[in-house]
Amino acid sequence: MRARLNTTFQSLQVRNYRLFALGQLVKLIGVWMMFTTQDWLVFLLGGTAAQLGIVTALQFTPVLALTLLSGRLADRYDKRRILFVANAAWTLLCVLFSVLVVSGAVELWHVYVFAFLLGVASAVETPVRQSFVSELVETRLLPNALGLSAATFNSARVIGPSLAGVAIALFDVGPVFVLSAVLAIAPLVCLFRMRPGELYRPEVAPAGAREPARVVDGLRYVRQRQDLLLPMVLMSILAFTLFNFPVTLQALAKTGFNTGAASFGLFTTAVGLGALVGALVGGTRRARPSVYTVIGSAMAFSGLAIVVGVLPLYWLVVVALVPTGFFMVFFAQAANQRIQLGTDAAFRGRVMALWVFVFMGVNPVSGPLVGWLADHAGAGPAIWMGGVAALAATSGALVVQLRHSGSRLRMRLRPVPRVQIVPAVAGAERA
């Protein structure tokens, strides 16, 4: 057990990564508290699930415009400095938003404006943060560092909504926004305390001697790499159909089961709990995951989403959301690791920007669409329909990959029933 724990948390022995993880954990707890409270504020201001979808769309619209450019910046300039500026902008916006909410002057259009502005800061910060992890640890620790980063995110996903649900019930929405603004300061302190000399990166060349790092070169690089393209496509499809839980679970709690903020917090906590376990399991991985690990976890996530959408009882949904959260993050993390560990360092910023683009950039379209569907067909059908579409897409991806590699599926019933991938030739990639 001690050896397993040492392996799981070994990246935390690196000082710079330890500071990075601490700053992100504290900030993200505040982010999830704010997102949960913001979603509830929309309903308090008389909004509907469709209007909540608009908030989600505005929050992620900047991803479409800025993320690829942010990846270009990450490949040309000091990532640590870019992160400091982006986090400072996020903190300032949180302070202004919290003042507006506490004063009682907030209106629904204010929520729209701040959702968009916070989305701008996030669109710049996210791809840089994703690629910055590779500079915090040496290559052999990168799978573990990526896993722990996902665990940090999902720890916040568990803690933040739970705290928000209790805080809303006790203190109303205003103090929650204030606390999230205070917590946003943490990454600024941690980034400042890092030791640049201990980062695993080449010296940044003078401005006139730097490569242009064109966005189109990054797109061409991914297009020519089938092993990177397939997880990108899968993520774009599942992000469109299933990664809308802030909208669907909010609607499911309020209109599907006629419950309140605390119950919505429990839904989100159940997803986050499973996601945390999935991130920790994925963090023990020491090598690049296979394409079949990515596809298999995507299929499991899709199937469980169908189950969540059709279950008629509140507590059954809570229970089912735990394994759903597990495979949601296990899939996302496996796809992320497969892409990062297969990408040349010179292209990593632009490739991870494209990853963020396909992961988050579909939300301006999918958020309102899923919100509209939840309003008219019900939150449950909105979830299971997304699951059906995602399962069809992942099954198609499996067929394409098997044909591309020449491999085939084989079912074994003894000693334990299992499905195996039989390579066409020796040395081919195994599941």
Residue bearing tokens 């929650």: 176
* Res 2: pLDDT: 59
* Res 430: pLDDT: 41
Nearest to 198 by CA among 76, 80, 346, 75: 80
**Per-block mean pLDDT, blocks of 10 residues, the chain (431 long):** 62 91 92 86 79 79 77 81 94 93 88 91 86 85 80 74 79 88 94 89 53 71 88 90 75 70 72 81 77 92 92 87 90 87 79 80 73 80 90 91 80 68 56 42
Terminal-residue alpha carbon distance, the chain: 26
Helix axes 108-136, 348-360, angle to 10 degrees: 150
Instruction: Give the whole-angstrom CA distance, residue 150 versus residue 278.
Output: 9
Nearest to 70 by CA among 83, 61, 59, 58: 83
Question: What domains, with CATH codes, occur in the chain?
Answer: 14-198+212-422 (1.20.1250.20)
Nearest to 152 by CA among 329, 345, 410, 359: 329
Instruction: Give the whole-angstrom CA distance, residue 52 versus residue 112.
Output: 9
* Res 114: pLDDT: 92
* Res 190: pLDDT: 95
* Res 303: pLDDT: 94
Instruction: Give the whole-angstrom CA distance, residue 91 versus residue 180.
Output: 9
How many helices (H) and strands (E) in the chain?
17, 2
Instruction: Give the whole-angstrom CA distance, residue 59 versus residue 73.
Output: 21
Q: How many residues does the chain have?
A: 431
Nearest to 370 by CA among 288, 269, 248: 248
Helix axes 226-241, 363-377, angle to 10 degrees: 30
Instruction: Give the whole-angstrom CA distance, residue 165 versus residue 168.
Output: 5
* Res 424: pLDDT: 66
* Res 429: pLDDT: 44
In the DSSP assignment, the letter for residue 201 is S
Task: Report yes or no: 37 and 168 within 8 Å, Cβ to Cβ.
Answer: yes
- Phi, psi dihedral angles at 419 (to 5 degrees): -105, 130
DSSP secondary structure letters along 360-373: HTTHHHHHHHHHHH
Task: Report yes or no: 29 and 160 within 8 Å, Cβ to Cβ.
Answer: yes
Instruction: Give the whole-angstrom CA distance, residue 190 versus residue 194.
Output: 6
The tokens of 235 are what?
């993520």
